[in-house]
Amino acid sequence: MKAIYIISAVLSVVFSLTVTVNAQSITLIPKWTAQAQFAGYYVAEKMGFYKEEGLDVDIKHPSHSENSFLYLKEEEPQAIITNLSQAFMECLAGKQIVNVMQTSQENSLMLVSHSPLKGVSSLQYKEIAVWNHLSQELLDRIANKYLLRVNWIRFNSGINLFFSKAVDICMVGSYNEFPLLTECGMQIDSAHIMRFADYGYNLPEDGLYVTEQFYKKHPETVQKLVRASIRGWNWAYEHREETLDIVMEQVRRHNIGTNRYHQSKMLDEILRLQIDKNGQRPYRLSREGFDLATDILLPADTQKANNLRYENFVK
């Protein structure tokens, strides 16, 4: 496997010497700091898949507290990776964006509690720690959907807030914070866990988005970006250890405090979440996923909600 990785890397370098100097530059902005959650994009850049499509892709990570949409400009050659729920909220706020690729097919969100959780009703009037980058409007819509009155406690990242018992309930991701809790020695049984997907909130998460204006002006460029990114994710699935080598290069470059074991667990879970109910990796947002997001997140009585259509949102 190492030999395959080395040969592929050499070939990508050779190819990069022959590509045109007029390659299209694109800035790719993940929704978080460097980690295995974005492995396929790192692979596509490292292995030269973007260059083979005539693209010069620069991956720029935001800080913990920044929303990747802050970087998205109408006419700039940019793409962002973000959650479907966040994208819907931005559309309601007037942002004209399109989904050009969907990696996540299953929802990763979980609630963990120091006390047993007995269904949605057990969340009533509780303090729940949530990430700062989630919009309050989104949280309010979730609470209204499930008739909850809760107090959201904001934090940037990590598990210290929950681990120290500063809060009783905390939102975590199945690919990151949840395995981190077990790595720190916590034994959490099923009675203390609530998976959002088990309660009708199985919204797909990570997708690739560009502005509608950029897509209309440069559809072939976007198609190349998507094609190379899919190739990167497929390579990551087939070459786990080599992919982890690439991920660890990224986390070291960005001075992220992590380790290979945790990134390995994350990669395995991220790849699992990309599989749909038919056992496939479609890399496309399904109409079913879109309709579920519409039902949960969009107020039916607004004109903006009425104008948001699958055919316009998914390209």
User: At a CB cut-off of 8 Å and minimum separation 6, what does 265 contact?
Assistant: 175, 179, 183
What average pLDDT does this structure show over 147-154? 92
**Residue 16 pLDDT more than 50?**
no
pLDDT at 19: 43
Structural domain range at position 84: 2-106+204-313
- Looking at the structure, do residues 97 and 218 belong to the same domain, yes or no? yes
* Structure tokens, 306: 């009425």
What is the model's pLDDT at position 15?
Answer: 46
My answer on whether 192 and 208 are in the same domain is: no
**pLDDT tens per residue, range 120-136:** 999 999 999 998 877 78
Give the span between the Cα atoms of 15 and 19, in whole angstroms.
Answer: 7
Pick from 153, 173, 199: which residue ends a domain?
199
pLDDT at 302: 59
DSSP state, residue 158? S
Q: What is the pLDDT of residue 114?
A: 93
**pTM, entire model:** 0.88
Which residue among 165, 199, 233 closes a domain? 199
> Do 139 and 12 belong together in one domain?
no
pLDDT tens, position by position, 166-187? 999 999 999 999 999 999 989 8
